Structure 1
Amino acid sequence: MTESAHAHPPEGDRRPGPSRRLVAQGVAWSVPAIALSAAAPAYAASSDIAVAVVSSCISGGSRNGSFTVTADFIALGAELQIVLTHSGSGSFSAVPNFAHTGTGTTYVVTGTGGPSVGQIAVQLTAGQNGTSVVTANVSAPGGATTGDTEAQIRVTRTGNSNNYSCSAL
């Protein structure tokens, strides 16, 4: 290119208003700001936690089942609490496959700023001709939960045998 290609037009040849180059630079700088503001999900600012609790049974006349808890997004430091309660005859044991705090059958998951999925394996016992039920309730102390926040596993024992029937509710 010659030096005249970079020269500015004489004063009388300039158009009023900003140059096309200045407008293009402004657009180029605004695109990253728009992209950054759109990258944060809408629920990130909310204290609500969307959850789904699903119960399931192991087939074949078993007294074993599990609860799968899925949270779409738990803000950094926010807590999700899972409480298991028992009703009916017999008892139950539970083993979670996720890191938690809490005591007994109360499990507290602390958010890491993203989604969370965990499973709790449950084994129930029931007395003769009895029924044993474990209910999982999910809540967010200091916030709110939306979605399916409760599920049950019900085991019924026939007679004094080891024949159990399991249903997930």
Structure 2
Amino acid sequence: MAGAVVEAQARIEQAQVAHLGEYFDDDNRPKSVVIRMPSMQPGATENDEDLYRVPLLPLVPSTSLRIRDVEIEFDAELGAFFEPGDDDADAGASPGGFGDRWAFLSRLRRRSVALDTHARRGEGGAGKVQVKLRVEGTEPTDGLARLTNQLAMTQGVFQTFRPGD
């Protein structure tokens, strides 16, 4: 189960990196939008317009996700209770031939119970397993914050149109 949670977090991170790639073109240049705005340049007339280029990445919120917690529920058939020493006589005949190690572990156990997670539950249905993953938003990493700030500094006017040009 722990391996599945680690893999789920890795997939979340891979999806976030892939999503970041959507803000760059095939040559790794930032995708941007060009906006026409009334010119604020010195000497601009009423009809002059500036072309203002804005990279897309700084325009969108950049929240990362991570798994906050995991809750696992399952139905299982309860078996017999074991007390320390109940199976000492069978220690040498344990499955897998663990011999003395099995006997040692069985003596360490306090009271335990056998579980069968494959047992059929009421109305002939199989035992069920339910896993809940809760994710939470996190602050952008330092690297992403620096990239976003650097891209934000590149935005600005790159051309001014005057009537009749």
TM tier, smaller: under 0.3
Question: Greater share of strand residues, 1 or 2?
Answer: 1
Give me the TM-score of the superposition, normalised by structure 2: 0.27
Question: Greater share of helix residues, 1 or 2?
Answer: 2
Which structure has the larger Rg over C-alpha atoms?
2
